[in-house]
A and B are shown apart, each in its own frame.
Chain A
Amino acid sequence: MKSLAELAAIRDKMKGKVGIRADHDDDTRIVVGMATCGIAAGARPVLNAFVELAAKHTEKHVSVTQTGCIGICQYEPVVEVMEPGKDKVTYVKMTAEKAAEVFEKHICGGKVVTEYTIGTAHK
């Protein structure tokens, strides 16, 4: 059974890390659309898959955030990946499975998963 003692252990573990990197400007940002359109299309498991992967790969310095509707509701769930110094990549019609693939190939491997991008979906 989960306990507050376990949460205290997470706190103590994190405390050691906070001091090392105060500045998050070089983080990779993953932004998931979380308006009604996103949620109805299944954005919640996509977001939480990314949170889980970010927790597993702390060395990648990934921050996962949420945004509202960006106006392309027919392509939801929409995910934007922003790496410092690089062009933004927009992934569309995402699922938790595709999120795992994007994390592995793009975030860890440095290679954009072109088949899930909006450019490919448009064709």
Chain B
Amino acid sequence: MKQLSENILDIAENSVKARASLIEIILEENPLLNTLSIEIRDNGCGMDNETLERVTNPFYTTRTTRKVGLGIPFFKMGAEMTGGTFHIESKVGQGTVIGTMYHTDHVDFIPLGDIASTLMTLIGGAPEIDFVYKHTRGEKEVLLDTRQLRETLGDISLDTPEVLIWIRDYINEMYDAFNN
């Protein structure tokens, strides 16, 4: 993966497949410590302990088309390469929390990249699921909650192309303010 936002897309797709109704993607930056943490929380089907122990192994996958599963191993590796950490907790019937911490001043830290495209892709692929995206740095915040968008949209689906484009542009504008 060339951007952390691609890892986020890949990991959140697992939450979609776990039939979550709410997926939260929370990013917190600490500019004093030069760290970034990413956490993806879902209320999907969860995993038992045996599965949980195997998911960081590249030779474990639930897919039937091939024998390797690299999503979680890539996510974990990306964090550990910066001297950061990885964690995952899950409970059957309750959901999964998966997170990473990065040292942003490390040479192997890859940029967040195009997070607006990631959200557009996730929401477009699973318009029935609610997504909360929150990125904070001190007092600054970027926040998107599809429950709020639904109130405005009524019975127009979130995967309407015009709506997805609006979401992408909205996120990008929030980031313009966030980064200045």
Contact = CB atoms under 8 A, between A and B. Distances in A.
Q: Do A and B bind each other?
A: yes
Interface of A: 1-2, 4, 6-8, 10-11, 13-15, 18, 34-37, 39-40, 44-45, 47-48, 51-52, 54-55, 58, 64-66, 68-71, 73
Interface string B134-170: 0000000000000011001111100011111110111
Given A39-B1, A48-B120, A6 B156 contact: no
Nearest to A45: B117
B29 interface: no
A14 B65 contact: no
Per DSSP, chain B at the interface is helix
B166 A11 contact: no
A7 B149 contact: yes
Contact of A48 (B1, B70, B156, B168): B168
A64 B124 contact: yes
Given A7-B163, A71-B65, 12 more contacts: A10-B156, A10-B163, A34-B13, A35-B13, A37-B70, A39-B1, A40-B74, A48-B121, A48-B168, A51-B120, A64-B124, A73-B66
Contacts of A13: 162
Interface string B72-100: 00100000000000000000000000000
Size class of the B contact interface (CB-based, 8 Å): 35 or more
A54 B161 contact: yes
Per DSSP, chain A at the interface is helix
A55 B162 CA distance: 6
B52 to A, nearest CB: 19
A17 B168 CA distance: 23
Contact of A51 (B66, B164, B173): B164
